[in-house]
C-alpha cells in the first residue's frame, strides 16, 4: 500500500498507453511488418539452405556426402546406370555438411522450403527429383 | 477449519512452461507450498549422440541445445575442440564469431523479455520483440542460410565469410534497435502493474544464487559481477570495451533490467566490431590428415579436413552464453569421434533454483519468476 | 411527431411510426375484433426484443473482430485479413468452426451443471440490455429501477462462473472460478457505490432520467456530463467495470498463462462460444452503461432535418465504441495483476475512495451545483 501511495498517478501506464497509441496510428517509423505469407513471400537470402539439388554432370557418386551426413539422411542409389544420392528429407536437418563435404561441388541447397508432404515415402527425394543439369534452374 | 492441500500438475503441456516442463505444485489455495520440477520431456540424448558422430558432425547438434541462441552453443563447442587440438583461429574469424554471438545475445534477450511479458499477460512486447528478432534472423539467414539452427561455426573458423551488404544491414539494425529499446522501456519499465508483479518477487541473494550455480543475467541480477567474458577472457573480448551489467536487488525485476542493459551493451560491442573488422582468412589453414581436392572452391572444408583427429586428452571450455555459463567438457581418445561430451548448460543450472525461489509465493509469481530466469527446454533436457 | 417528448420507449416509437404511416388503426382494429389487443402489444415488444438481441449478437461478432484488429494494430500486425473485406467475416467463420466442433463433456464432470453454466452466463448478458437507452426513446423498457436491475443482473454471472468451474472437475477451472467470484464480489461494491453517486445527482434510478439529466450545457459549451462532476467516480466505475468484465489487467478468471483458460478450460464447441459471446456482450453492455452514467448517454449536438432517434443512436454508439476501444487499448499495454494485489486495491483503495466520492457528490448536490 505504501507502494500505491507513491504511484497513484499511474504515469508509467499512461506512458505505455502513449507508446502503444503511436503504434496504432503508425506515428514515427512504426509500420505494420506482417508479410501475408501465402499471398506474398519474403525474399530469401542467396545462401538459404533449403531442399538439396544435385548437379547431374558433376556428381561422381563417391558417397562422401553419405559419410559426412550426421543423420544418415543420404543414401547412394543407382539411377540411370550411375550412382546418385537419395535424400530422406524427413530426417534432414539442413546443416549443409554434405555441401561442404562434396569434393566435386555437385550438391547444392536450393531456395525451396515448402517441403511438407502427406506421406513418409514422399519426403524421400530420389535422384529423379534432386538432379539438375548445369545451367538449368533447379 | 481444516483445508486440504491441492496438488497441481503444471505442464508438461501448459501455455507458460516455455516448452515441455512439468511443475508439481503442492498448493495451499493459491500459495505454493512446494514446487518440484520434473524434467526430461525433451531429452534427446545429445551427449550420447556425440559419441557416435565425428567432431564435425556434432556441430549441427549444438544448434539444437539452446535453439533461441544457437551461435553461442556452436561457438562453445568449437572453442572446446580448438583448445583440445590447439588450433590457431584467424582474427577475422574471431571477429565474425563474436559479432554473430552478440547479435544472438540480443535475439535471445528479446525472446526472453517477450515471453516474460507474454506470461504476465502483455502480449504486445512479444510481438515487438519478434519484429526486431526477425531483422536479426534475416541477417543470420544472409550470413549462413539458416534462421535458427545455424551450424555456422567450424572447427578453426567459420563456414562462410560475411556476404555483400551484410555490414550496412547490420548498421541499419543497430540504429533501429536503439529506438526500439527506448520504446520497450517506455512500455514496460515504469508500468506500475509490471513493477507490482516483478519488484521484490522471487528474490534470491547473491550467496544463494552462487550456491545454486546460477550464472548469466540471473546471477548478475543478484549483484554478483560474474561474466566469463571478463573473468576468463576468450576470443577477442579482451580488446573490446563493454561493461558488465549488474543489479543488486536479486528480484525478477533486476533480472529483467539486466537483460535490457545487456542488449544495449551488445549493440555497443557490435559497433566496435564493425569499425575494427580485420581482413584475413576466415578459417584456420592447419592441415590434418586428408589433403583437400584441387579445384574445389574456397569453403571451410577445403581448408580444413573432413576427417579431423584431435590428440587424446580432455578439455573443459566455457563461454558466457546469453543465458549464462555454457561449458563443454570433451574427452578425446585420439580417434575421429569424441569419447565423451558433457554439456554444462546454463538453463539447467538456473532452473534448479526455481523451487527455492517460489516457495510461499503464488502461481502468478511462479510464472513471473520462471519467465525472468529465461529457460529454454532444449538446453535443460539436452 | 418524430420528436414527440411523450415517447419513453421503443414500443411507443413503433406505435407512433405506424400511426404516422396510417396503418396502426387498421392493425389495431383487426386484433380488437378478436378481443386480443394485448397480443398486438406483446407482438411488437417481442419483435423489438428480437431486433435488440440480433443487434447485440452482430455487435458482439463485430467486437471480436475489432478486438483482434486493435491488438494487431498495436502489435504491428494486420490481424484477420482473408475472410471477407479486411477479414470482416472472420467471426462468422469462427462461429461455424465452433458449431462444427465436438462438444466434449469430461467424464468426471457434473453433466447437468456443466451444460447449464454457459446458459446462465449467456442469458443475463443479453438481459442486461433491456434498460440501456441506445438513443432517444430507443429503449426496450425504461425501468424505474434500471440501474439496480443492471447491477442485479450482472451479479448473476459470478454464480455461473462458479458453476462452470466447479462442474468441470478440473483444478485450474476451480481456481479460476474461485478467483472470479472473489474478484466480482469485491468489485461490485465500488461499482455500485460509484453508480450511486450519479443517482444522488439525478434522484432517479431510471437510465433515461440519468441521460436526460446530462442534456444541458454549462456556459453553453461544456456538456453537463457526470464525468466532469464525478471524475473520481468515473475512473472508479471504469476500473471496476473492467474488473467485472475480467479483461486484462484483471483477467484472473481465465488468465491464460497461469490457469490455461481458467473456468472454461474444459469447454469446447458451442458452450465455449457462449462464454465467449457473453464476454463480449458484457463488454458492450458495460461500455454502454459507462456512457449512460458518465458520458452523457445519447446526448449530443442536435442536427436539423435528421430524426433525433437516429442522431442519438449514432452519438451513443460513437461514445460506446470509444470506451470499448479504450479497454482494448489498455489490454494491449498492461500486464496482468496478481489476484491478491487486485483484491487489496479493491478493498483498501477503491471502496474508501468510492465512499469519499459519495460524500463529495452529497456536498455538491447540497450546494446545488446541478
Range of the domain at C270: 102-367
Query: Chain A residue with minimal CA distance to C331?
Result: A17
Q: Is C336 on the interface with B (CB under 8 A)?
A: yes
The stretch C50-73 carries a mean pLDDT of 88
Q: What is the pLDDT of residues B290-305, one digit of tens each?
A: 344 444 444 445 555 5
Gap between the Cα atoms of C97 and C72, Å rounded = 22
For residue C330, tell me if it sits in a domain.
yes
Gap between the Cα atoms of A19 and B184, Å rounded = 9
- Give the CA-trace dihedral at B12, B16, B19, B23, to 10 degrees: -40
For residue C90, tell me if it sits in a domain.
no
Gap between the Cα atoms of B230 and B237, Å rounded = 8
Is the bond preceding C249 in cis, omega lying within 30 degrees of 0?
A: yes
- Give the CA-trace dihedral at C171, B197, B126, A28, to 10 degrees: 150
Give the pLDDT score at B292: 43
Give the pLDDT score at A135: 67
CA distance A59 to chain B (A): 13
Is the Cβ pair C75, B127 closer than 8 Å? yes
Mutate to test the interface with C, among A3, A19, A24 (most CBs of C within 10 A): A24
Question: Which residue in the set B124, B131, B194 is minimally distant from C332, CB to CB?
Answer: B124
For residue C4, tell me if it sits in a domain.
no
Q: Chains A and B: how many Cβ contacts under 8 Å?
A: 93
For residue C246, tell me if it sits in a domain.
yes
The dihedral sign for the CA sequence C244, C249, C254, C258? negative
DSSP letter (8 states) at residue B237: G
B306 pLDDT tier (thresholds 50, 70, 90): low
CA distance B259 to chain C (A): 19
Q: What is the pLDDT of residues B22-33, one digit of tens each?
A: 888 888 877 888
For residue C140, which phi and psi values (nearest 5 degrees)? -65, -50
Architecture of domain A52-132: 2-Layer Sandwich (3.30)
Is the Cβ pair B121, C333 closer than 8 Å? no
Q: What is the pLDDT of residues C313-338, one digit of tens each?
A: 888 888 899 999 998 888 888 888 88
Q: Is the pLDDT of residue B320 over 80?
A: yes
CA distance A18 to chain C (A): 9
Report all structural domains of chain B as residue ranges with CATH numbers, in order of start: 53-346 (1.10.645.10)
- At a CB cut-off of 8 Å and minimum separation 6, what does C97 contact? none
Residue B217: which H helix or E strand, with range? helix B217-220
Q: What is the pLDDT of residues A56-96, one digit of tens each?
A: 888 888 888 888 888 888 889 888 888 888 888 888 888 88
- What does the domain layout of chain A look like in residue ranges? 52-132
Higher pLDDT among residues B259 and B154, named by residue: B259
Query: Percentage of residues in chain C with pLDDT exceeding 70?
Result: 97
Gap between the Cα atoms of C338 and B365, Å rounded = 8
Is the Cβ pair C256, B120 closer than 8 Å? no
Q: What are B1's three cell numbers?
A: 477449519
For residue C94, tell me if it sits in a domain.
no
Residues in B touching A12 (Cβ below 8 Å): 189-192, 194-195
Question: Which residue in the set B30, B122, B123 is minimally distant from C339, CB to CB?
Answer: B30
**How many angstroms separate the Cα of B304 from the Cα of each of B59, B62, B92, B311, B334?**
14, 20, 16, 16, 18
CA triplet C270, C124, C198: central angle to 5 degrees?
A: 140
Q: Is the pLDDT of residue C37 over 80?
A: no
CB B241 within 8 A of CB B275: no
Residues in C touching B191 (Cβ below 8 Å): 333-335
What's the whole-number average pLDDT of chain A? 82
Q: Is C123 on the interface with A (CB under 8 A)?
A: no
Chains that touch A (3 or more CB pairs under 8 A): B, C
- At a CB cut-off of 8 Å and minimum separation 6, what does B209 contact? B218, B219, B222, B224, B250, B353
What's the whole-number average pLDDT of chain B? 84
Give the pLDDT score at B286: 57
* Lowest mean pLDDT segment, chosen from B67-71, B194-198, C297-301: C297-301
For residue C78, tell me if it sits in a domain.
no
Is the Cβ pair A70, B188 closer than 8 Å? no
Number of domains present in the structure of chain C: 1
The half-sphere exposure of B153 on its side-chain side, counting CA atoms within 13 A, is: 31
Gap between the Cα atoms of B302 and B38, Å rounded = 46
For residue C84, tell me if it sits in a domain.
no
Q: Chains B and C: how many Cβ contacts under 8 Å?
A: 79
Give the pLDDT score at B329: 92
The stretch B351-372 carries a mean pLDDT of 86
Q: Tell me how far the alpha carbon of residue C337 is from its chain's centroid.
A: 23
A53 pLDDT tier (thresholds 50, 70, 90): confident
For residue C64, tell me if it sits in a domain.
no
Amino acid at each position: 500500500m505504501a507502494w500505491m501511495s507513491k504511484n497513484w498517478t499511474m504515469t508509467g501506464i499512461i506512458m505505455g498507453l502513449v507508446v502503444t497509441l503511436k503504434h496504432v496510428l503508425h506515428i514515427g517509423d512504426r509500420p505494420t511488418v506482417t508479410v501475408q505469407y501465402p499471398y506474398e513471400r519474403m525474399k530469401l537470402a542467396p545462401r538459404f539452405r533449403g531442399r538439396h539439388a544435385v548437379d547431374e554432370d558433376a556428381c561422381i557418386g563417391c558417397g562422401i556426402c553419405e559419410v559426412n551426413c550426421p543423420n544418415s539422411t543420404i543414401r547412394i542409389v543407382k539411377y540411370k546406370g550411375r550412382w546418385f544420392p537419395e535424400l530422406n528429407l524427413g530426417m534432414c536437418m539442413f546443416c549443409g555438411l554434405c555441401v561442404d563435404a562434396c569434393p566435386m561441388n555437385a550438391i547444392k541447397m536450393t531456395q525451396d522450403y515448402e517441403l511438407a508432404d502427406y506421406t513418409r515415402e514422399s519426403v524421400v527425394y530420389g535422384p529423379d527429383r534432386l538432379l539438375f543439369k548445369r545451367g538449368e534452374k533447379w | 477449519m481444516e483445508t486440504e492441500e491441492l496438488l497441481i500438475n503444471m505442464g508438461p503441456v501448459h501455455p507458460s512452461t516455455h516448452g515441455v516442463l512439468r511443475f508439481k505444485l503442492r498448493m495451499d489455495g493459491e500459495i505454493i507450498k512446494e514446487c518440484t520440477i520434473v524434467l526430461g520431456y525433451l531429452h534427446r540424448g545429445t551427449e550420447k549422440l556425440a559419441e557416435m558422430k565425428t567432431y564435425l558432425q556434432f556441430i549441427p547438434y549444438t544448434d539444437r541445445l539452446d535453439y533461441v541462441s544457437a551461435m553461442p552453443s556452436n561457438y562453445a563447442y568449437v572453442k572446446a575442440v580448438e583448445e583440445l587440438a590447439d588450433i590457431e583461429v584467424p582474427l577475422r574469424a574471431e571477429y565474425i564469431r563474436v559479432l554473430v554471438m552478440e547479435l544472438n545475445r540480443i535475439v535471445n534477450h528479446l525472446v526472453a523479455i517477450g515471453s516474460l511479458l507474454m506470461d504476465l499477460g502483455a502480449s504486445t512486447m512479444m510481438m515487438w520483440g519478434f519484429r526486431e528478432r526477425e531483422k536479426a534472423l534475416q541477417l543470420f539467414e544472409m550470413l549462413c542460410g539458416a534462421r535458427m539452427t545455424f551450424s555456422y561455426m567450424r572447427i578453426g573458423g567459420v563456414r562462410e565469410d560475411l556476404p555483400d551488404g551484410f555490414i550496412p544491414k547490420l548498421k541499419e539494425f543497430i540504429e533501429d534497435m536503439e529506438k526500439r529499446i527506448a520504446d520497450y522501456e517506455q512500455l514496460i519499465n515504469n508500468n506500475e502493474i509490471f513493477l507490482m508483479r516483478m519488484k521484490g518477487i522471487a528474490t534470491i541473494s547473491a550467496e544463494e544464487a552462487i550456491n545454486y550455480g546460477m550464472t548469466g543475467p540471473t546471477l548478475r541480477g543478484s549483484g554478483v559481477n560474474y561474466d566469463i567474458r571478463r573473468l576468463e577472457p576468450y576470443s577477442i573480448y579482451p580488446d573490446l570495451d563493454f561493461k558488465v551489467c549488474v543489479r543488486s536487488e536479486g528480484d525478477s525485476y533486476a533480472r529483467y533490467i539486466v537483460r535490457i542493459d545487456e542488449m544495449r551493451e551488445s549493440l555497443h560491442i557490435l559497433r566496435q566490431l564493425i569499425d575494427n573488422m580485420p581482413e584475413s582468412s576466415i578459417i584456420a589453414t592447419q592441415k590434418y590428415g586428408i589433403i583437400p581436392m584441387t579445384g574445389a572452391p574456397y569453403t571451410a572444408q577445403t581448408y580444413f579436413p573432413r576427417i579431423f583427429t584431435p590428440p587424446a586428452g580432455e578439455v573443459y571450455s566455457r563461454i558466457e552464453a546469453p543465458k549464462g555459463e555454457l561449458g563443454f567438457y570433451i574427452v578425446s581418445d585420439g580417434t575421429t569421434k569424441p569419447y565423451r561430451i558433457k554439456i554444462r548448460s546454463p538453463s539447467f543450472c538456473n532452473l534448479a533454483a526455481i523451487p527455492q525461489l517460489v516457495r510461499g509465493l503464488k502461481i502468478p509469481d511462479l510464472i513471473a519468476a520462471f519467465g525472468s530466469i529465461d529457460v529454454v527446454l532444449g538446453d535443460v533436457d539436452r | 411527431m418524430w420528436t414527440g417528448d411523450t415517447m419513453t420507449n421503443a414500443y411507443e416509437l413503433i406505435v407512433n411510426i405506424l400511426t404516422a404511416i396510417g396503418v396502426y388503426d387498421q392493425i389495431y382494429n383487426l386484433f380488437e375484433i378478436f378481443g386480443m389487443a394485448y397480443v398486438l402489444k406483446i407482438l411488437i415488444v417481442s419483435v423489438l426484443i428480437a431486433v435488440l438481441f440480433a443487434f447485440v449478437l452482430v455487435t458482439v461478432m463485430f467486437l471480436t473482430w475489432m478486438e483482434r484488429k486493435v491488438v494487431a494494430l498495436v502489435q504491428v500486425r494486420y490481424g484477420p485479413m482473408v475472410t471477407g473485406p479486411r477479414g470482416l467475416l472472420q467471426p462468422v467463420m469462427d462461429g461455424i468452426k465452433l458449431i462444427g466442433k465436438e462438444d466434449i463433456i469430461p467424464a468426471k464432470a457434473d453433466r447437468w451443471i456443466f451444460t447449464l453454466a454457459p446458459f446462465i452466463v449467456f442469458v443475463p448478458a443479453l438481459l442486461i440490455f433491456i434498460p440501456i437507452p441506445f438513443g432517444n426513446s430507443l429503449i426496450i423498457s425504461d425501468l424505474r429501477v434500471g440501474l439496480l436491475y443492471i447491477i442485479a443482473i450482472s451479479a448473476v454471472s459470478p454464480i455461473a462462473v462458479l458453476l462452470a468451474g466447479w462442474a468441470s472437475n478440473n483444478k485450474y477451472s476451480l481456481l479460476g472460478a474461485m478467483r472470479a467470484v472473489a474478484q466480482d464480489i469485491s468489485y461490485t461494491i465500488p461499482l455500485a457505490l460509484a453508480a450511486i453517486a450519479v443517482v444522488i445527482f439525478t434522484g432517479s434510478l431510471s437510465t433515461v432520467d440519468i441521460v436526460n439529466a446530462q442534456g444541458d450545457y454549462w456556459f453553453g459549451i461544456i456538456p453537463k456530463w457526470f464525468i466532469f462532476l464525478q471524475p473520481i467516480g468515473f475512473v472508479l466505475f471504469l476500473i471496476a467495470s473492467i474488473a467485472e468484465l475480467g479483461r486484462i489487467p484483471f483477467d484472473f478468471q481465465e488468465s491464460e498463462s497461469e490457469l490455461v483458460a481458467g473456468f472454461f478450460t474444459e469447454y469446447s464447441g458451442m458452450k465455449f462460444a457462449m462464454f465467449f459471446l457473453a464476454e463480449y456482450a458484457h463488454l458492450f453492455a458495460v461500455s454502454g452503461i459507462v456512457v449512460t452514467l458518465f458520458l452523457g448517454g445519447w446526448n449530443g449536438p442536435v442536427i436539423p432535418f435528421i430524426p433525433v432517434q437516429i442522431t442519438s443512436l449514432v452519438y451513443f454508439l460513437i461514445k460506446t465504441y470509444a470506451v470499448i476501444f479504450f479497454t482494448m487499448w489498455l489490454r494491449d499495454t498492461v500486464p496482468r495483476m496478481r489476484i491478491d494485489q487486485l483484491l487489496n486495491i479493491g478493498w483498501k483503495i477503491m471502496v474508501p475512495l468510492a465512499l469519499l466520492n459519495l460524500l463529495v457528490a452529497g456536498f455538491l448536490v447540497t450546494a446545488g451545483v446541478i
